[in-house]
Structure 1
Amino acid sequence: MRYELLGPLRVSGARGQSLLTAPKTEVLLASLLIGAGRVTTKDQLINELWRENPPRQSTAALHVYVCQLRKLLTSLGGPTDAISTRVPGYLLRVQEGELDLHDFQRLSASGRALHRARRYEEAVDDLEAALAVYRGPVLDGVGEGPIVSGFATWAEQERLDCEELSIDAHIALGRHQEIRSRLSTLTTQYPLREAFYRQLMLVLYRSERQAEALQVYQQAREVLRSELGLEPCRSLRKLHQAILVSDQVLDLSMAS
């Protein structure tokens, strides 16, 4: 079986693929996959499925949806015991290589370790492979309960952390031209994430575009003041000052 959470929810097996168009089934599978390998309680699942308006026989209704999901997974070629009943709820088992989330975590952890070891070329390979696991907005449209929404928020943060670290590795390798447009896009998409401004400023400075680097700082300052009422963080201010005086330290690694 293959389960994919990092984008539209998708499940496939030896007998085919399903995008799961039934909303309650989507929410149920997503919730069980987020907690794969451990028990998700019936109360948690009922809250996720119906929020503040559960049906009178919510436990029985949940059991019906679990049975339907078991049949779906079996029809795709999955094992009959993929979902087991465990007090006080249900547990979904996944094998190694079956869940895209696990692939992302393995690759990003490897990339981080390689980055710490300053093996930047290899780090980029693993970090970019981790980012490629994402297929779009995480679980877009799959309910708004605490399990799904909490996971989506966490997964987006993990993706951005991975993106930032990959760009750091590119900078360490001197690939300034290759990532400049990527960083411009990221500062537009995530205007409150100061790390992307810092990286773009450094890349522009090292590309002999000092004036543009200073403009990026002013842009960041205006956004942060307008949205949060804050000045840029210390590292951004320090980099700005270094660029103003063409500090030789900028020729070293300030990307970490």
Structure 2
Amino acid sequence: MLKKTACALAVLPAIYVGAAQASAVDPAIVAANRALSFSLGALNQNYRELDSGGSVLDKENGAIPRIGVEYSLMGLQTPLRFYMSADYAGGDTSYKGALQNGTPYDTSTGNKIVDLNVGLGYAFGFGRFAVIPGVEYGYSNWQRDAGKGDPVHGVKETYTHGHLAVTVSGQFAITSKAVLSLDAAYGKTVSPQMKIDELGGTSVTSPTFELGSKPWSRVGLGFDYAAKKNVHIGARLAYTQFKYGASAVYAGVYEPDSKTRHTTFDFVVSYNF
């Protein structure tokens, strides 16, 4: 019994040292996560509405300009990581579908897309590498102007949803100034809704179409370089995918199942502290 107790006590310091090493995050990674950053890039919209059999009813494609701002903070003593971001993308994409009577209808769609995110995580350091698991809540608002400028067939709609996801970020300090990151998130949409704002240029009072909650996911790749002590530059590439379920029928009208895929690429400049 005494031998077993002595062995256990001998192991405790090693466990403590291992835990301490796992919580020591590389200074380059800490610096990359303490910033007020501004981004400029593009969002590629890939949207599909589907019938009950999975066939495409209509689709939209195209790249539109995007700007964003993010504030992130990682503790110097305790490696908690907090971030919040806001992004806006706006412009026209191509629309290919059909009118209610089945007549093919090819036109353009005006888009205004706002994405807001807030997240919290904890960093575990392993030499020049860190793993940061966490959680994220987000909100998205898409103002869709299908048939933009068409006084007869144009439709303006607003789609909104939140998302709640678990996240993980793997970050590697390539050098004392350069950090490479690979991020992933998975969750579900929260309270997805759609409202019709205008039909043929005329404002309407629309019921709220409640859309079914579906999976939401994102993967991303980022690079951060400390050009100066407090000025960093970098780039980010991300792919986000989510679905909406079909709504109930209101006065003979319903919103079908849909699938959205966003690919974003941004150049980033930040003030780091």
Structure whose residues are more often strand by fraction: 2
TM-score, L = length of structure 1: 0.24
Structure whose residues are more often helix by fraction: 1
TM-score, L = length of structure 2: 0.23
